[in-house]
Amino acid sequence: MADSPYLTAPVKNKGMPKGIPYIIGNEAAERFSFYGMRSVLMVFMTTYLIQPGGALDVYTDQEAKGWVHLFVASAYFFPVIGALIADAFWGKYRTIITLSLVYCAGHGCLAFMGVMGDTKGWLLAGLFLIAVGAGGIKPCVSAHVGDQFGKSNGHLLSKVFGWFYFSINLGAFASGMLTPFLLEATAGEGMGAKLYPHVQWLVGAKGPDDVLFGPHYAFGLPGVLMALATWVFWMGRHKFVHIQARGKEYFAETFSREGLKIIGRIFVVFAFIIVFWSLFDQVGTTWLIQAKSLNRVIPEGIPWIGGQELLPAQISAVFNPLFILLLIPVFNYGVYPLIDRVFPLTPLRKIGIGLFTMSAAFGMVAVVQMVVDGGGTPHMGWQILACALLTAAEVMVSITGLEFAYTQAPRQMKSFVLSLFLLTVSLGNFLTAGVTWLNTAEDGNSRFGMTQELWFWAGLIFLTAAVFIPVAMAYKPKEYLQDEAESGETVSSGD
């Protein structure tokens, strides 16, 4: 790539950096792509997986649950590799652009499912490439946000990471509404029946029980959005601060005795967040399985949508990001300032409260499952209420953890430490996948009931939160932000 003039340090400025809108736009589209594909993955694997000849070749619920958590674990393992490539060799911008193309190739593999070859082969190949692409760029994008700020505008970091997370969940909310509909909506019922006359020219003649769009549309739209995300990020290349890769010096500093000491110190906190993610990502598996047994009809009194029935995959896929969009400003401008008046809030205290809140969320869905096991059909509103608690926990643990990871990492280790924070998601999902495989009998079904499993997780996170309290009290924080350049300073860079 020819040399081009890029900023290599933040300009002294008290306002918002010019590159932030491009990063936020890229993140919204990329997260639509990832969460859109992920929201339909479990249902597709257990209901719609068909070989090219038309033969149904689905997984059991337990098998699919294990594979989905293994995919998520892989997607959050590759950040470690992406961070090393970015900080040592390519720089963040080049790493993000290159691995975004790998990401797009993964969606290309999914497009061949059911068309030619082995559908499961295309599925696993696509998931692997998406895991490499999505995982590899994730810590780089998060660190790239922080790199745009210096000491003059570093006070904006907390709010910007909040809006960064807001963009993630805006994409997740939109995809949670749309992709399950594309996968499962029929031509003769609900919104599918209303839409069918307008799209018949596109989908052809359909019977009342026929799926209106199907897997190719449900997986195709996320692929298009990933291509859009890549384009938006490329458009912002001259607005970004490009922190240069450090080569061999990076490895010497990062894995020196002092570097390893810092990593170990931070990872003590991260270890508790692993358990949080082992519960959180079950909203797309265990909670989805439970949702199949709930009354999912929206109450008649709600305008426009009253009387409509939600699909099982839509409940957590829609309400979790919706609650995030609502709760981020509520917590930033209401809950946190109010609590801070009587109980000074540090990042670690927020995380601790979030861990206890997650235990309450899983306790609630365990009670709902007890009613299901007793032959009842509880309304989905109870799971939605539990989802509100789960989302409040996410605001306190995940957003705060993201900011904590960036500020506690030395300047040359930002991407790597953020990748370790994302590794907690991977390890949490490996934990869930491991428990799931151990709980899977030879016939592919669960050895124990879902109620027992939910109470197990609720108890585990409560114990984790209790142990976290003395660890948080003993931790002494130290912040690192990027140095600033004088206004207008640029250097020639090949990044």
Q: Identity (one letter) of the amino acid at 73?
A: A
> What number of other Cβ atoms are within 10 A of residue 412's Cβ?
17
- Give the Å distances, CA to CA, from 171 to 2, 231, 373: 34, 16, 35
- 186 forms beta bridges with 211
H or E element that contains 4: strand 4-6
In the chain, what's the furthest Cα-to-Cα distance? Answer: 69
> What average pLDDT does the segment 10-23 reach?
76
Instruction: Give the length of the chain.
Output: 495
Q: Determine the average pLDDT of the residues in 105-130.
A: 91
Distance of alpha carbon 336 from alpha carbon 348, whole angstroms: 13
* pLDDT surpassing 60 at residue 481: no
**What pLDDT, on the 0 to 100 scale, is given for residue 490?**
42
* Rounded Cα gap, residues 217 and 50, in angstroms: 15
Is the pTM higher than 0.85? The answer reads: no
Question: Is residue 3 classed exposed, middle or buried when 0-12, 13-18 and 19+ CB atoms within 10 A define those classes?
Answer: exposed
The top-scoring range by mean pLDDT among 15-24, 168-177, 276-285 is 276-285
Strand partners, 5: 492
Q: What is the pLDDT of residue 402?
A: 80
| Confidence tier at 440 by pLDDT (50, 70, 90) | confident
Residue 461, pLDDT > 90, answer yes
7-476 CATH: 1.20.1250.20
Over residues 383-394, the mean pLDDT reads 95
pLDDT at residue 479 greater than cutoff 50: yes
pLDDT digits (tens, 9 = 90+) for 47-75: 999 999 888 999 988 889 889 989 999 99
Q: What does pLDDT average to over the chain?
A: 85
Mean pLDDT of 19-35: 85
Distant-in-sequence contacts of 255-262, Cβ < 8 A, 24+ apart: 259/410, 259/413, 262/408, 262/409, 262/410, 262/413
